Amino acid sequence: MQELDIPVYVLHVQKRQEGLLKTDKRDALGLANMLYNQLEKGIQVGDPLQAVRRLVAPTEAAAQLRGMVRHHYELTAESIQRKNTLTAICDELFPEFTRLLRNPNLPTALALRSRFPTPADLAAAPWFALREARGRTCSVSDAKLIELQRLAAQSIGTKDPARVRGLVIEQKQLIRELDLIGQHLAQLEAEMIHMVGNSREGKILTSIPGIGPLAAATLIALIGNIANFERASQRKLVCRLGPKGSTIGVHSGLDTLVAAWGQTDETDDVSHRVEGYPMG
Task: Please state the three-class secondary structure of the chain as a single string.
Answer: CHHHCCCCEECCCCCCCCCCCCCHHHHHHHHHHHHHHHHHCCCCCCCHHHCCEECCCCCHHHHHHHHHHHHHHHHHHHHHHHHHHHHHHHHHHCCCHHHHCCCCCCHHHHHHHHHCCCHHHHHHCCHHHHHHHHCCCCCCCHHHHHHHHHHHHCCCCCCCHHHHHHHHHHHHHHHHHHHHHHHHHHHHHHHHHHHHHCCHHHHHHHCCCCCCHHHHHHHHHHHCCHHHCCCHHHHHHHCCCCCCHHHHHHHHHHHHHHHHHCCCCCCCCHHHHCCCCCCC
* Partners of 10 in beta bridges: 53
With cut-offs at 50, 70 and 90, classify the pLDDT of residue 36.
Answer: confident
pLDDT of 83 higher than 50: yes
67 has a pLDDT exceeding 50? yes
Shortest CA distance to 171 belongs to which of 108, 122, 113, 91?
Answer: 113
pLDDT over 80 at 279, yes or no = no
pLDDT at 121: 94
Mean pLDDT of 125-135: 89
Q: Which pLDDT score, from 0 to 100, does residue 65 have? A: 93
Q: What integer pLDDT is reported at residue 260 of this predicted model?
A: 41
Tell me, what's the pLDDT at 118?
95
What average pLDDT does the segment 131-148 reach?
A: 85
Q: Is the pLDDT of residue 155 over 80?
A: yes
Gap between the Cα atoms of 225 and 60, Å rounded = 9
Cα(124)–Cα(245) distance, integer angstroms: 53
Residue 54: beta bridge partners? 9
Which of 13-22, 202-211, 229-238 is predicted most confidently? 202-211
What pTM did the predictor assign?
0.70
Average pLDDT in the chain? 81
Give the pLDDT band of residue 163 (cuts 50, 70, 90).
Answer: very high
Cβ-Cβ contacts under 8 Å for 190 (sequence gap 6 or more): none
Answer yes or no: is pLDDT of 77 > 90: yes
| 136 — pLDDT class (breaks 50, 70, 90) | confident
Quick one: average pLDDT of 197-224? 89
Whole-angstrom Cα distance, residue 234 to residue 245? Answer: 19
Is residue 196 over pLDDT 80? yes
Per-residue pLDDT, 271: 31
Q: Name the pLDDT band for 201 (thresholds 50, 70, 90).
A: confident
Residue 183 pLDDT > 80: yes
Provide the pLDDT confidence category of residue 3 given band limits of 50, 70 and 90.
low
Q: In this model, does residue 76 exceed pLDDT 90?
A: yes
| Conformation bin of residue 67: beta by default, left when phi > 0, alpha when psi is -120 to 50 | alpha
- The pLDDT value given to residue 263: 39
Classify the C-alpha dihedral 157-162-163-167 as positive or negative: positive
Quick one: average pLDDT of 50-56? Answer: 77
For range 75-104, the mean pLDDT: 95
Could you tell me the pLDDT band of residue 257, with boundaries at 50, 70 and 90? very low
Roughly what angle, to the nearest 10 degrees, separates helices 127-134 and 107-115?
140
Q: Provide the CA 165 distance to its chain's centre, in angstroms.
A: 35
* pLDDT for position 272: 33
R_g of the chain, CA atoms, integer Å:
28
Whether the Cβ atoms of residue 164 and residue 93 lie closer than 8 Å to each other: yes
